[in-house]
Copies of this chain bind each other. A is one copy, B any other.
Amino acid sequence: MGYRAINFSAGPSTLPEEVLKKAAAEMLNYEGTGESVMEMSHRSAEFQKIIDDAEQNLRDLMNIPDDYYVLFLQGGGTLQFSMVPINLLTNSKKADYIITGNWAKKAYEEAQKFGDIRALASSADKNFSYIPKFKKEDIREDVDYVYVCYNNTIYGTHYNEVPDVGDHLLVADMSSCVLSEEIDVTKFGLIYAGAQKNVAPAGVTIVIVRKDLVGHAPENTPIYLDYAIHAKKGSMYNTPPCYSIYMAGEVFKYLKSIGGVKEMHERDVRKAGKLYDYLDHSEMFTPTVAKEDRSLMNVTFVTGDPELDKKFVAGARERGMLNLAGHRTTGGMRASIYNAMPEEGVDALIAYMKEFEDENK
């Protein structure tokens, strides 16, 4: 198969090599069926098993209780920005959002089409470089839910404990951290995650939603936007994104085989720990996020000199380390080191950083 880059892309992003190899090997003939998974009727017994296994393995990995649905949907986080308020603003039609960056802000703006939405807290004052605190008493008493973006891909921040919302319903976008840490699902009413960062290729979004919250969308909701339709039909009301679901399922199997989320988390802590440790002691590179709010998945840093940043990113590219430029709204650098990034990838990055620092003192 030849050359493999070290890919620090923020998403779509690197996938486990084992899974890609298996997918390539069975591309024309899945388990003796004589079909590619891409060619399979979604109503076939073979595909039913693929989606059932994917759901069960995700339930096992995340310890998802039976009173939650697991849905595999299309439309990405963007469609969830609409589906969450449409489906969950059912009583007061109020919700409080925490603005921790670009994606939280987009979710907040979109929700305003459907109810009385307030920004409860924001870290916009320091370009979203921290997770803003709030008191549960500050939440409006009758909100239908409180919304957070759990890991902020662009800024490298992360909720390192579940925010305390008291008795309120908590909704979280976990697109860029799902399956990187053990999460108590019962603390959330709804969790969603676009697959293209930590799970699978783009094109499928996982929604984990408490069953009692489903079935209350307004009458004239566009049919695809009603969770109830998908829940009733096991994510197959219409043709699902079969191949992305198959790939997600293969990643789930792979995660189970290495010891599940607990083991994965230990690896992620080790990988990110090495990188932050280097950054905290470097005389050239500075991490941009306060220690308590740092993400294990997206590590952001700067030299303080935009020209030097550019030189660093270009040099990395020459060494086969891709996508290290920070988001256009932050500048600097970002190393996305999702589950599928091997520890050797992080080691190679640190080695290059040392070399670069020596050469550019």
| Interface residue ranges, A against B (CB under 8 Å) | 1-5, 7, 9-15, 17, 20-21, 23-25, 27-29, 32-36, 38-42, 44, 74-79, 81-83, 86, 110, 113-114, 194, 196, 200-204, 219-225, 237-244, 247, 320, 322-323
CA–CA, A6 and B129, complex, Å = 56
- Top 8 A-B residue pairs of the complex, sorted by shortest distance between their CB atoms: A5-B34, A203-B241, A82-B222, A24-B27, A38-B201, A74-B74, A1-B28, A78-B238
Give A126 Cβ to nearest chain B Cβ, in Å.
25
A242 surroundings in chain B (CB, below 8 A) = 12, 196, 201-203
Q: What does DSSP make chain A's interface, helix, strand, loop or mixed?
A: loop
Give A108 Cβ to nearest chain B Cβ, in Å.
12
A20 surroundings in chain B (CB, below 8 A) = 27-28, 36, 38
Give A192 Cβ to nearest chain B Cβ, in Å.
13
Q: Could you write out 26 A-B pairs with CB less than 8 Å apart?
A: A1-B29, A3-B34, A9-B41, A9-B44, A10-B41, A11-B41, A12-B39, A13-B41, A14-B35, A20-B27, A20-B38, A21-B27, A35-B322, A38-B247, A42-B202, A77-B238, A78-B238, A79-B222, A110-B222, A114-B220, A194-B239, A202-B242, A203-B241, A203-B244, A222-B222, A222-B225
- The answer to whether A76 and B238 touch across the interface, beta carbons within 8 angstroms, is yes
How many copies of the shown chain assemble into the complex? 2
- The answer to whether A32 and B3 touch across the interface, beta carbons within 8 angstroms, is yes
CA–CA, A202 and B100, complex, Å = 34
- The answer to whether A15 and B36 touch across the interface, beta carbons within 8 angstroms, is yes
- The answer to whether A40 and B9 touch across the interface, beta carbons within 8 angstroms, is yes
A23 surroundings in chain B (CB, below 8 A) = 27
Q: A28-B4, A29-B1, A244-B243 are in contact. Are A79 and B38 (CB under 8 A)?
A: no
- The answer to whether A12 and B28 touch across the interface, beta carbons within 8 angstroms, is no
A12 CB contact (under 8 Å) in B24, B42, B323: B42
A203 CB contact (under 8 Å) in B13, B74, B224: B74
A35 surroundings in chain B (CB, below 8 A) = 4-5, 7, 14, 322
Known contacts A12-B41, A74-B203; 13 additional CB pairs below 8 A are A1-B29, A4-B35, A5-B33, A9-B41, A12-B39, A12-B42, A23-B27, A74-B76, A75-B224, A78-B237, A113-B219, A241-B241, A243-B243
A29 surroundings in chain B (CB, below 8 A) = 1-4
Give A43 Cβ to nearest chain B Cβ, in Å.
9
Give A41 Cβ to nearest chain B Cβ, in Å.
4
CA–CA, A337 and B10, complex, Å = 40
A238 surroundings in chain B (CB, below 8 A) = 76-78
